[in-house]
Amino acid sequence: MFPKTFQKLIEHFTDLPSVGPKMAERLVLFLFKQDKEKVLDFADSLRELATNLSFCEDCHHIAEEGGKCVICANSNRDRQTICVAEDPLDVISIEKTKAYNGLYYVLGGSLSVMNEGEIEKLNIDKLVRRVKNEDIKEIIIATNPTTDGDTTALYLFRVLRDLDVKITRLGRGMPTGGDIEYADEITISSALEGRKKM
């Protein structure tokens, strides 16, 4: 129905979360009608996303290729506290509060109650190694207040509790079932302040 190039791009858009086939067609048509320079710039940014960025070698947050993220590279951060988050957008939300000056560790997802086989997909082993090898005093578990976030927090508690580290979890200011990514800065700040020992 569409020229091949057009159809291929529709398929790429359909792969994106929350984009259905109709929306994908509209987006591709929109791009087609745009100024060529603008479309090429968009294409360049996509290429750079794939080639210039990677996961931080220390914490799995977003970093420039082959290096550390800006947080790990910042020598003014408190290196004895690690806040464990599900994904990079949660890190960004916590950073916006300016209420936290420690390091982070990004799991890259959460464990579902139904499928504990997902454990190896999360970056948990490296976190345990860091707690063993570095002078870490506190781990703040900042998984989402959802069933999966709770399962993940409990799992982390089980693997970390015998190590010499204080384990806390964000206070219950966070709306249950909600997502840190969408919480406002005041809510996150008070959840950080009200964190409880597990």
Site residues (vs Zn ion, CB under 5 A) = 56, 58-59, 61, 69, 72
Among candidate residues 28, 169, 156, 181, the one with its CA nearest the CA of residue 91: 181
Q: Which is nearer to Zn ion, 9 or 71 (CB)?
A: 71
Residue 103: CB minimum distance to Zn ion, A: 7
Q: Which is nearer to Zn ion, 60 or 169 (CB)?
A: 60
Q: Which is nearer to Zn ion, 56 or 174 (CB)?
A: 56
Q: How many beta carbons lie within 10 A of that of residue 182, not counting itself? A: 12
Residue 35: CB minimum distance to Zn ion, A: 37
Q: Angle at which helices 4-14 and 21-33 pack, to 10 degrees?
A: 130
Residue 124: CB minimum distance to Zn ion, A: 16
Distance between CA 190 and CA 197 in Å, rounded? 15
Q: Which is nearer to Zn ion, 21 or 67 (CB)?
A: 67
Residue 55: CB minimum distance to Zn ion, A: 8
Which residues have CB under 8 Å from 80's CB, separation 6+?
102, 135, 136, 137, 138
Residue 123: CB minimum distance to Zn ion, A: 11
Q: Which is nearer to Zn ion, 69 or 85 (CB)?
A: 69
Give phi and psi for 13, each to the nearest 5: -65, -35
